[in-house]
């Protein structure tokens, strides 16, 4: 009986240590993910506002945001989706740079997709 109580106590302690380690790993991931997602969000919003005025600057900002996004630990489907969406925004800016009219509806849709992908990437936090 005493052995059973001792074993139960050890199992509970191990479970608590495991939970603590999992929480620490999650906290560490959030500490890395959150500032990157926040910066990418701000950069993309600034770039989207610039596309029709200064497409070259928007392209530079979007490319920088994509590089920053690639630094996220543990690449996920959400990060891949965000990167693909940024590439599509770059394509829109390149079209404007070539003299084509900005497809604002497309840019708005891409911006919404990107916001969702970034929210999903930060979802672990």
**pTM surpassing 0.85?**
no
Given its phi and psi angles, is residue 11 left (phi above 0), alpha (psi -120 to 50 degrees) or beta? alpha
Q: What is the pLDDT of residue 29?
A: 61
Q: What is the pLDDT of residue 72?
A: 83
Integer Cα distance of 119 and 116 in angstroms: 5
pLDDT tens, position by position, 12-56:
555 565 554 445 545 566 777 889 899 999 999 999 999 999 999
Inside any domain, residue 5: no
Domain with 86 in it: 33-124
Inside any domain, residue 99: yes
Inside any domain, residue 1: no
Cα Rg, the chain, nearest whole Å: 22
Q: Please name the residue that has the structure tokens 């392209």.
A: 59
Inside any domain, residue 83: yes
Report the number of distinct structural domains present in the chain. Answer: 1
Inside any domain, residue 54: yes
Integer Cα distance of 71 and 105 in angstroms: 30
């Amino acid at each position: 009986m005493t052995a059973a109580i001792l074993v139960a106590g050890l199992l509970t302690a191990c479970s608590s240590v495991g939970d603590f380690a999992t929480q620490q790993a999650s906290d560490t991931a959030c500490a890395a993910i959150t500032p990157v997602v926040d910066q990418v969000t701000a950069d993309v919003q600034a770039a989207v506002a610039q596309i029709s005025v200064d497409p070259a600057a928007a392209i530079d900002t979007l490319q920088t945001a994509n590089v920053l996004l690639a630094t996220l630990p543990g690449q996920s489907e959400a990060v891949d989706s965000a990167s693909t969406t940024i590439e599509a925004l770059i394509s829109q800016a390149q079209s404007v740079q070539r003299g084509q009219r900005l497809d604002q509806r497309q840019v708005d849709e891409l911006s919404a997709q990107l916001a969702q992908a970034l929210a999903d990437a930060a979802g672990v936090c």
